[in-house]
Chains A and B, each alone.
Chain A
Amino acid sequence: MIDQARPNDTVTIPYGLYKGPIRITKPIQLVADDPVKIINPTEEEATLTIESDNVSVQGIHIVDKRINSDVAALVIRGDQNFLENVIVETKGIGIQLRQADYNTLHNVQVIGKIKGDGSPTTSTGHNHGAQPEVKPKQTEKAKRGNGIDVRESHHNRFIKNQVTNVEDGFYVENSDRNHLEQNLVTKSRYGYHFMGTSDTTVINNIGMENVTGSQLMESRKLTVTGNQFLKQQKNPGSQGILLITVQDTLVANNTIEGNRVGLYLEQSSGITVKNNLLSLNFIGMQFLASSDNVLTDNQFVSNVIQAQAQDSKNNNLNKNYWDNLQGLDVNGDSRSDLPYEMNPFYLGLTDAVPAYQLFFQAPGFVFLEGLFTNGAGSAIKDATPLMMPSDTVLVESGETSGWGAGILGLILLIGSCSIIYIGVKKS
Chain B
Amino acid sequence: MHINLIAKREVKVGFRNPWSYSFMALFSLFSLGLLIIQSQSYMKGYTYTTGTMLNLILYLLPLMTMLLSSFSLTAEKEEGSWQLLSTYAMTTSSFLLGKYLGQALVLIAIVSFGYGLSGVAGMLLGKSFAFSTLLFLLAFSICLILLFLGIAMLIGAISKNRWQALTMGVSIWFFYILAWPTLLISVLSFVPYTWIKPLLQLATFLNPAEFVRIFSVARLGGGSIFGPEYYKWVYWADSPLGDLIFVALSLLWISATLFIAIRVWERR
Contact = CB atoms under 8 A, between A and B. Distances in A.
A302 B42 contact: yes
A365 interface: yes
Given A349-B185, A364-B181, A424-B15, 4 more contacts: A236-B225, A398-B130, A405-B130, A408-B116
Contact of A402 (B46, B128, B177, B228): B128
B236 interface: no
Interface stretch (B69-77, B79-87, B91-99, B118-126): B118-126
B181 A353 contact: no
Contact of B46 (A127, A282, A365): A282
A360 interface: yes
Contact of A304 (B115, B126, B188, B225): B225
A16 interface: no
Interface string B35-62: 0001111111111110100110011000
Interface stretch (A26-34, A241-249, A309-317, A413-421): A413-421
Main secondary structure of the interface of B (DSSP, over half): helix
Interface in B1-57: 11-12, 14-16, 38-49, 51, 54-55
A174 B225 CA distance: 33
Interface stretch (B105-113, B161-169, B249-257): B105-113
B134 interface: yes
B179 interface: yes
A2 to B, nearest CB: 49
B128 A362 contact: no
B118 A302 contact: no
A132 B230 CA distance: 11
Nearest to B38: A398
A420 B131 CA distance: 25
Contacts of B209: 363
Given A362-B213, A412-B116, A399 B229 contact: no
A131 B231 CA distance: 12
Interface residues of A, number: 72
Contact of B110 (A367, A399, A405, A416): A416
16 contacts: A282-B222, A323-B48, A355-B200, A357-B230, A358-B226, A361-B55, A397-B40, A398-B43, A398-B130, A402-B123, A405-B128, A409-B117, A410-B120, A416-B112, A419-B109, A424-B12
Contacts of A359: 181
B224 A236 contact: yes
Contacts of B217: 360-361
A234 B12 CA distance: 48
Contact of A397 (B39, B113, B120, B231): B39
B133 A356 contact: no
B50 to A, nearest CB: 8
Interface in A305-337: 305-306, 323-324
A118 interface: no
A134 interface: yes
A204 interface: no
Interface string A280-311: 10110000000000000000001111100000
Interface string A235-257: 11110000000000000000000
A214 interface: no
Nearest to B44: A398
Interface string A249-291: 0000000001010000000000000000001101100000000
A258 B48 CA distance: 11
Interface string A157-179: 00000000000000000000000
Quick one: which of A132, A283, A365 has the most chain B CB within 10 A?
A365
Contact of A409 (B46, B105, B120, B227): B120
Nearest to A361: B51
A210 interface: no
A140 interface: no
Contact of A127 (B59, B180, B228): B228
Nearest to A233: B224
B135 interface: yes
Given A233-B224, A303-B48, A358-B226, A395 B181 contact: no
A17 interface: no
Contacts of B41: 302, 395, 397-398
B127 interface: yes
B39 to A, nearest CB: 7
Given A362-B213, A405-B134, A415-B109, A233 B182 contact: no
A234 B238 CA distance: 11
Given A234-B224, A302-B48, A396-B42, A413 B11 contact: no
B109 to A, nearest CB: 4
